[in-house]
Copies of this chain bind each other. A is one copy, B any other.
Amino acid sequence: MKPYVLIAEDEKAVSELLLYNLRKEDYDVGVAMDGEETLMMIDERTPDLLLLDWMLPKVSGIEICRRVRTGGANPNLPIIMLTARGEESDRIRGLDTGADDYVTKPFSTTELMARVRAVLRRIRPGLKEDRITVGDIEIDRVAHRVTRQGDDIHLGPTEFRLLDYFMQHPGRVFSREQLLDTVWGSDVYVEARTVDVHVGRLRKALRNAGGDDPIRTVRSAGYALRED
């Protein structure tokens, strides 16, 4: 089953961002807006991971953290703490109370997602790797590196995300619209043909490392990564 991630965050802007990104990475997601609700929702269905805001109305994040660790039915529940920048000592107290990781706001979504994966992988090994290999291409999302037959490949941010997405679903054909939605983000509007250009750039970069074109064009449908 999909891992269940509970977001405990009162700022709607933040929780929505998290919600959106976690859904995109195919998790089950719940949102709690204050401390009480968080505790209730944990009781209802034990999450596989708790994203916990430091400052939470009614019952603070650190208090929740403590209660979970000492009190409840699941003292090993993984927790990633979200703190505002500059609360350094708080941060440490956060780890002290037993959070598995902490992230300062504002945070990079990519980085947070990587940490989420990292924590979840501890619980469920082989869940969503930080490294994927398809054929002779390997991508390392943490180190942000791509190699082909050992050679390093430099990619721009967009090409990187594009390849990343392809490698998560090898063989599958994506329309330009789908790619725009997921790789670019659903909130940007760019021409569909832009995808072509970036696929072209990705191709050229991959070609430079030798071997033949690993991206398949499916006329009138989109692009796909060859799956061997």
Q: Which residues of A contact B (CB under 8 A)?
A: 16, 19-20, 23, 31, 85-86, 88-89, 91-93, 95-96, 104, 107-108, 110-111, 142-145, 156-157, 171-173, 175, 177-178, 181, 186-187, 189, 218-221, 224, 227
Q: How far is the CB of A9 from chain B (nearest CB, A)?
A: 13
DSSP majority for the A interface? mixed
User: B175 touching A108 by the CB < 8 A rule?
Assistant: yes
Given A89-B16, A143-B171, A144-B221, do A178 and B96 touch, yes or no (CB 8 Å)? no
Tell me which residues across on chain B come within 8 A of A186, comparing CB atoms. Answer: 88, 91, 104
A175 touches B110 (CB 8 A): yes
Shortest 6 CB-CB contacts between residues of A and residues of B: A157-B220, A144-B173, A88-B187, A143-B171, A16-B92, A144-B218
